[in-house]
Amino acid sequence: MPSPRGYVRTTRDNRLLAFVGIARYASAEQLHRLFFGGVSKKQTYRRLGKLCEPGGQPGEGPCLRRLGYRRRDGTEVPVWALAPFGRSIASRQVPWLRPPAASDIGHRFLEHTLVLNEVLVTLVAMLRRGPQEPLCDLLFRWLCEGDDVLTYRVLHPQTGRWLAAVLKPDAVLTIPARKRRLFIEAETGSQSIATAHPDRTGAVLSKLGRYRQFFVARSDAGDKSWYQGAFADGFLPRLLFLVHSDERRRKVLRAVTEQLGLLPPPQFKVIVMTFAEAPDRLAPYIRGTGEAAPPRSDRIVTFEEAALPRVREGFNAVAHTVNALREIIVAHNRRGGPQLELPPMPLEAIKALQTFVKQVLDAGHRPDAVPTGHPVSGPSR
C-alpha cells in the first residue's frame, strides 16, 4: 500500500505551535533558536514549510500560515502564524490562549511585533527547563495583542461629558506567583514622547495619561477602578515601556517622572526598559528573586541647623504669596471684564515639598513643623 501523504507531527511541532499561538507571529530565526538547536537553518525552513501543508492523518489541515514583510532595504522576511488546525492543537496545550484575531495586522506592523517578540523568545529560553517543557508550565503568561480592548471612560475637559475610551496594549505579561500584571507598550521611536494634540494617542505621555485613568479612576460601579473591574484577581498592575536605546530610555523616564510628579498614585507604577535589557531584568523578577524597576534608595542630606528657621520662613513666604495671588485673581474675575485663568495647583508636587520641609524641621527637633494638610493653604505655625 502506498504510504500516506503528509507528515507525522512531533512533540517539538506541538510545542512550536503553542509558542506561535502565544506570540501570534514568529520569524524563522526565533523559532530556530527555541526549537531547532543543533540543526541547520535550512532544516528549520524545511520543517516550517511542511507544517504549512496538510498533515498525514485524515482531517489534519495545515498547522501554519506563511506571511511576510519587506525591510527598508527591500529584503523579504518570512513570518509564520497559526492556521485554524494549528490553533486547535495549540489551544489544547495553552488553555489561556487568546482567541484568534479577525484579520492579520498590516505588513508594516509585523516588524514591530517581531521586535517585541524577541523579548518573549529570550524569556522563554531563559525560564523554561528544556525544549520539551509545555509552555503552559512557564512562570509567566504572555498575552499578545488581539482584537480585545480594555474599555473605560474619561471626562472631556471642555464639554464636561464622559466619553468612551479604549486601551490596546502591545502585550500583557502576567506573573501569577508575584500577583503582578505588566501592560507592555513597545516604543520603536516612531512616536513622539509628548504631543499637544489629544487625538494622537500614540505619544508616550498620552498613553501614560490613559493608563493612569484606567488604573486609578473609579469606574461606573463606583467602588472599583476600571482596572479592578476588568481584572478581578487582585493582581497589581504595572505599565512597562520598552524602548530601542539607552538615550530613549532616559528621555522617556525623565518625561514620565515629570508627568507623574514626586508622589505618583501608589497603584500606578511605571517601568521603562530597553528591548535589549528587558529579558535580563524581567527574568529574575518573574522568578521572584529581583525587581523589575531599580530599587528606590534614600539619600542622606546634610543641613546646617542654623538655617532651619529660614527653611520654615521661606516656605511660609511662598505659601502667603501664592494664596494672596489666588485671592487677587478670584476677586478680579468676580468684578467682571477680561477673565484671568487660574492655573491648576500641582497638589502632589507641593505636598511632596511640604513633606520634605517637615522632615528637615523634624530633623532639627523643632516642635513647629510644617503642617501636612491641604498644600499651600497657610503658613507653618
Residue pLDDT, tens place only, 57-103? 888 999 999 998 888 787 888 999 999 999 999 999 999 998 999 99
In this model, does residue 303 exceed pLDDT 70?
Answer: no
**Range list of H helices, the chain:** 11-23, 28-35, 41-51, 84-93, 107-127, 204-216, 226-230, 246-260, 278-287, 308-335, 347-363
For 303-325, give one letter per residue: b (16+ CB within 10 A) or e: eeeeebeebbeebbeebeeeeee
Residue pLDDT, tens place only, 147-182? 899 999 988 777 778 889 999 999 999 999 999 999
Name the residue with cell 520641609. Answer: 357
Other beta carbons within 10 Å of 129: 8
Name the residue with cell 506573573. Answer: 175
In terms of pLDDT, which residue wins out, 121 or 195? Answer: 121
| Residues 375 and 345: beta-carbon distance below 8 Å | yes
Torsion angles phi and psi, residue 130, rounded to 5: 180, 165
pTM higher than the cut 0.85: no
Closest CA to 273 of 121, 127, 114, 116: 116
In this model, does residue 231 exceed pLDDT 80?
Answer: yes
Q: Of 74-78, 128-132, 263-267, 341-345, where does mean pLDDT reach its minimum?
A: 341-345
Average pLDDT of the residues in 247-261: 89
pLDDT of residue 365: 47
- Element (H or E) spanning 166, and its range? strand 162-167
- Residue 324, C-beta contacts closer than 8 angstroms, at least 6 positions apart: none
In this model, does residue 133 exceed pLDDT 60?
Answer: yes
Mean pLDDT of the chain: 83
CA 234 to chain centre: 18
Cα(133)–Cα(14) distance, integer angstroms: 11
In this structure, what C-alpha cell is assigned to residue 191? 512616536
pLDDT band at 222 (very low <50, low <70, confident <90, very high): confident
3-state secondary structure (DSSP) of residue 325: helix
Other beta carbons within 10 Å of 157: 7
- Sequence ranges of the domains in the chain: 8-136, 149-294, 305-363
Name the residue with cell 523643632. Answer: 366
In terms of pLDDT, which residue wins out, 107 or 115? Answer: 115
Residue pLDDT, tens place only, 233-246? 999 999 999 999 99
Closest CA to 115 of 16, 190, 40: 190
In this model, does residue 1 exceed pLDDT 90?
Answer: no
For CA atoms 92, 286, 145, 224, the dihedral sign is positive
pLDDT band at 363 (very low <50, low <70, confident <90, very high): low
In terms of pLDDT, which residue wins out, 300 or 272? Answer: 272
In terms of residues, how long is the chain?
A: 381
pLDDT of residue 200: 52
Cα(107)–Cα(355) distance, integer angstroms: 52
In the chain, pLDDT over 90 holds for what percent of residues? 49
8-136 belongs to CATH 1.10.10? yes
| Residues 272 and 164: beta-carbon distance below 8 Å | no
